[in-house]
């Protein structure tokens, strides 16, 4: 069964590229895109106890204006044990800062810190990993 992917990124070009890759290579059964952290946070708050509406995977940009990825990670840390299903978070970032990478990987639900742009092969590998993990 294909899984659900949420993408939170304020960069329209990155979102467009990701949408094109996924349209040509449907690695996930459903995708939802958020162009800011606030809308992602609101969605998760509204659905944290509804496994059908929660994602299996989140691609999360760390550096977004307003509510950034760090605040999303902190929120998930607070509620993770109460979520109706586990969520695998993959950080997607243009940052090459080793401290940011280390800090992001300190959250137990963050699986990997991936530099942008994210490529088709990486997306397909993540989808396969998640399918095998949750099968």
Q: Are 80 and 109 in contact (CB under 8 A)?
A: yes
| DSSP reduced 3-state for 111 | strand
| Residue 127 CA from chain centroid, whole number | 12
| CA distances, 52 to each of 3, 18, 24 (Å) | 10, 23, 25
Distance separating alpha carbons of residues 93 and 64, to the nearest angstrom: 10
**Residues 33-76 pLDDT 10s:** 999 999 999 999 999 899 999 999 999 999 998 899 999 999 99
Distance separating alpha carbons of residues 93 and 10, to the nearest angstrom: 11
The model's pTM is 0.94
**Residues 98-107 pLDDT 10s:** 999 999 999 9
**Cis, bond preceding 117 (omega within 30 deg of 0):** yes
Distance separating alpha carbons of residues 36 and 15, to the nearest angstrom: 12
Find where tokens 């990701």 sit: 18
Q: What percent of the chain has pLDDT over 90?
A: 79
Q: Half-sphere exposure (CA, 13 Å, Cβ side) for 33?
A: 14
């Amino acid at each position: 069964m294909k899984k659900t992917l949420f993408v939170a990124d304020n960069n329209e070009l990155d979102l467009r590229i990701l949408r094109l890759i996924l349209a040509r290579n449907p690695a996930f059964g459903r995708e939802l895109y958020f162009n800011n952290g606030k809308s992602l946070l609101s969605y998760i708050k509204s659905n944290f106890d509804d496994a059908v509406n929660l994602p299996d995977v989140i691609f999360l940009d760390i550096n977004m204006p307003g509510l950034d990825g760090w605040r999303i990670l902190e929120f998930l840390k607070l509620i993770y044990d109460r979520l109706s299903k586990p969520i695998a978070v993959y950080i997607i970032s243009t940052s090459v800062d080793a401290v940011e990478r280390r800090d992001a990987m300190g959250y137990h639900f963050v699986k990997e810190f991936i530099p942008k742009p994210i490529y088709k092969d990486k997306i397909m590998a993540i989808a396969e990993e998640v399918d095998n993990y949750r099968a």
